[in-house]
Structure 1
Amino acid sequence: MESSNGYFQVADFVIFGGILLSSAAIGIYFAYKDRRDETIENYYFGRRNVSPIFYLGITVYLPALALSAVTILELKWTIAITSIVCTFYTTIGGLKAVVWTDLLQSLIMLGGVLSLFIRATLLYGGFGDIWDAAERGNRLNFFKLDIDPRIRSSTWTHLIGGAVGGCYSACCNQVTVQRYLSCDSVRSSRIAVWLQWIPSTILLMLCVANGLVLYAYYEGCDPVLSGLVAKSDQTIPRLALELFRDMPGMAGMFVSAAFSGTLSSVSSGVNSLSALALEDFVLRFFPTIPKRKKMLCSKLLSKFH
């Protein structure tokens, strides 16, 4: 049953805390495993023996805002928890810790959004009623073929905007390029590029489907205007709390999925910014710095970012 104050139950906190501890544990593992291989090559590129599969950029603020909607934690504390955990395992574990935590967090993200979709579909007796609600509210604008560029959301804005955004993410993003360099060959990099589209596409489709679920569930009763949540960004975690009120732990699983996206994004960004700062600023003025000092500088830069 849902707690009287509408917040997480003990099982939800256990699952959420377990995700954070697992990410930290991966960082500790690689810090210990590679304790005799403290080189820049290993710290930033994993000895070019890492094949990254999945990456999703999400800011720290939105998941922190989501968690604050379903727990007694204030927004500032949820942001602090995320930042501390990310900085910890990224700093001590390097790229290997980042990539392996990315894998763990990707599975959690997929599991979280999939569980919400399945639960909602079962409660509605199928996806048909959800689709009908979206049609009644004119929410299926993806199929709008109007070429007017002033229209925010249409078939063309999604296809063209998605293609341009995808090209940037796959070809120009520092985080992505660094992962290409961590592969042992150009062929491995190309395989990684193609493989990442599979989970990314599945996750995107599930997120869209959950958006339709959200609209159908609150059709005729805006959760923001009714005071159920303070901001629209908090509606999905509130929906998860209501759908899983008889299943302790599942709401925690879903919110953990949102936080996994943040952990993945922040840790990747911290590692990449650290590499850029070292290469473009430190080594530019101190090119002969000893190996051990390079590693120390890299870890300090990771903590700083």
Structure 2
Amino acid sequence: MVGYLMMFFITIPLFYPLQITSVYEYLQMRHESQRVRQMFMWLGNVVSLLYAGIVTFGAAIGMEGVTGISAWIYVVVLTSIAVVYTSIGGIKAVVVTDVVQGVIMIAMIFAVLIYGCIRVGGLSTVIEINWPKGRLRVFDFDPNPLKRHTFWTLVIGDGWMCAAIIFSPPLVQRLNSVRSIGDARKVAAMSIPAFVIVQILIMCEGLVAYAYFSQKGCDPIASKQISNPNQIIPYLVTDLFLDVPGISGLYLAALCSASLSSISSQLGSISAVTSEDFIRPRLKVASEKKLTQFSKLIVVLAGVVCIGIAILISKVKGPMGQITGSILGAVQGPMTCVFLLSIFVRCTTRKGIYTSIVVGVCFDLYTRGR
């Protein structure tokens, strides 16, 4: 909520009046340096590509758990579909498909929660099974920063993660595309409770899964029924709805929706910022048609890189949420701090920006590597 409130009070008042396509253009305006803008553009593209690759692999490994078909087939198919409709339809296609995909995802989450609670014996049973295991312990005030889930790591860590989102090119592009600054504020205001509700639903899905398998006396990973922790929910769906035809297919649609939504957003963003920050300054006499063709080519190239990153991510063990936070945070954290410095500290200089980003990224990579 703190992160999204920052969007309401910082992102919209700052970026909407500027009506810029690339959020990194602000850094050029602030520091009067094309080099600063392009450095952050490339760092931002790295983050977007990593995120797209992680999401693609996460969905693919989940679908592999449902169908038994190799994850690599899904990686190639999902990325190809996202590349086609993003390059043809642009941001409008991305936004419209995101709405449809979001409805499918939320409907499937509710289906798993409701039917899972019924099969377990009710919400009270889910709580009774999870409570003794500490899975509902919210207020763990252990100050150890290396412990994954405590009050401090969640509030501070997730707060900075959401702060990073408010400076992401896809978000700024979408906010700038609405009709007025008042509409942009309405979008931000609605997104706060929506985000909180969706996060709670997803966490509840995990509690239902734990209760369900605990009642069955079965650990799907220990029993070798699945090989990856990211396949737990897909496996739950196939087992839970074994006698209900069509639900596994709907769940596959929800997984595809989640993946396509994220991939298309990132590919569209990469194309837009690369065209504005890198291509346009070098081809000043090029027509809009030519620039559009370059944008479509960038989407295709980014899709190919996304597939390669998904292959690399398959070598990293652990839940997708933890992988995402660990890898992306190393770059997103320092970038977010640079934006905040540029906005709120008048004496910030170009040398200070270069120093802070290098030190921040190196320190973050070192600590995460340990």
Q: 2: CA distance between counterparts of 1:182 and 1:294?
A: 20
- Aligned to 2:148, what secondary structure does the other structure show? coil
Structure 1 letter corresponding to 2:148: R
- Aligned to 2:107, what secondary structure does the other structure show? helix
Match of 1:107 in 2: 103
Residue 254 (structure 1) aligned with residue 251 (structure 2): yes
Q: 2: CA distance between counterparts of 1:136 and 1:187?
A: 47
Q: 2: CA distance between counterparts of 1:151 and 1:233?
A: 21
Match of 2:344 in 1: none
Question: Does structure 1 conserve the Cα–Cα contact (< 8 Å) formed by 2:109 and 2:202?
Answer: yes
Residue 233 (structure 1) aligned with residue 230 (structure 2): yes
Match of 1:60 in 2: 56
Alpha-carbon offset, residue 104 of structure 1: 0.4
Structure 2 letter corresponding to 1:114: F
Q: 1: CA distance between counterparts of 2:232 and 2:112?
A: 13
Identify the match of residue 283 of structure 2 among 260, 281, 286: 286
Match of 2:151 in 1: 155
- Aligned to 1:141, what secondary structure does the other structure show? coil
Residue 98 (structure 1) aligned with residue 97 (structure 2): no
- Aligned to 2:141, what secondary structure does the other structure show? coil
- So what's the TM-score if we normalise by structure 1? 0.78
Which structure 2 segments of 5+ residues have no match? 1-18, 23-50, 303-370
Mapping 1:110-149, distance limit 5 Å: 110-149=106-145
Q: 2: CA distance between counterparts of 1:188 and 1:153?
A: 36
Match of 1:211 in 2: 206
Question: Does structure 2 conserve the Cα–Cα contact (< 8 Å) formed by 1:116 and 1:254?
Answer: no
Measured at CA, do residues 292 and 149 of structure 1 come closer, stay the same or move farther in structure 2, by a change above 3 Å? closer
Question: Does structure 1 conserve the Cα–Cα contact (< 8 Å) formed by 2:113 and 2:205?
Answer: yes
Q: 1: CA distance between counterparts of 2:236 and 2:270?
A: 36
Alpha-carbon offset, residue 101 of structure 1: 0.4
Structure 2 letter corresponding to 1:304: L
**Number of aligned positions between the proteins:** 252
Q: 1: CA distance between counterparts of 2:121 and 2:68?
A: 33
Match of 2:71 in 1: 75
Identify the match of residue 186 of structure 1 among 181, 188, 191: 181
Match of 2:266 in 1: 269
- Aligned to 2:55, what secondary structure does the other structure show? coil
Structure 2 letter corresponding to 1:81: V
Alpha-carbon offset, residue 224 of structure 1: 0.8
Alpha-carbon offset, residue 142 of structure 1: 2.0
Alpha-carbon offset, residue 262 of structure 1: 1.1
Match of 2:305 in 1: none
- Identity across matched positions, percent: 31
Alpha-carbon offset, residue 202 of structure 1: 1.8
Mapping 1:165-184, distance limit 5 Å: 165-169=161-165, 171-184=166-179
Q: 1: CA distance between counterparts of 2:94 and 2:155?
A: 31
Q: 2: CA distance between counterparts of 1:75 and 1:125?
A: 34
Structure 2 letter corresponding to 1:163: G
Alpha-carbon offset, residue 200 of structure 1: 2.0
Alpha-carbon offset, residue 78 of structure 1: 0.7
Q: 2: CA distance between counterparts of 1:187 and 1:250?
A: 40
The CA RMSD measured in Å over matched residues stands at 2.0
Structure 1 letter corresponding to 2:282: F
Q: 2: CA distance between counterparts of 1:180 and 1:258?
A: 26
Which structure 1 segments of 5+ residues have no match? 1-40, 45-55
- Aligned to 2:293, what secondary structure does the other structure show? helix
Q: 1: CA distance between counterparts of 2:83 and 2:146?
A: 41
- Aligned to 1:143, what secondary structure does the other structure show? coil
Identify the match of residue 243 of structure 1 among 218, 229, 240: 240
Q: 2: CA distance between counterparts of 1:73 and 1:80?
A: 13
C-alpha distance after superposition, 1:131-179 (max 9, x if no partner) = 111122222232323334343212222222222222221x211111111
Measured at CA, do residues 296 and 118 of structure 1 come closer, stay the same or move farther in structure 2, by a change above 3 Å? same
Structure 1 letter corresponding to 2:66: V
- Aligned to 1:88, what secondary structure does the other structure show? helix
Question: Does structure 2 conserve the Cα–Cα contact (< 8 Å) formed by 1:180 and 1:189?
Answer: yes
Question: Does structure 2 conserve the Cα–Cα contact (< 8 Å) formed by 1:112 and 1:256?
Answer: no
Match of 1:221 in 2: 218
Question: Does structure 1 conserve the Cα–Cα contact (< 8 Å) formed by 2:131 and 2:137?
Answer: no
Q: 2: CA distance between counterparts of 1:175 and 1:96?
A: 12
Alpha-carbon offset, residue 98 of structure 1: 0.2
Question: Does structure 1 conserve the Cα–Cα contact (< 8 Å) formed by 2:102 and 2:258?
Answer: yes
Q: Higher helix proportion, which one?
A: 2
- So what's the TM-score if we normalise by structure 2? 0.65
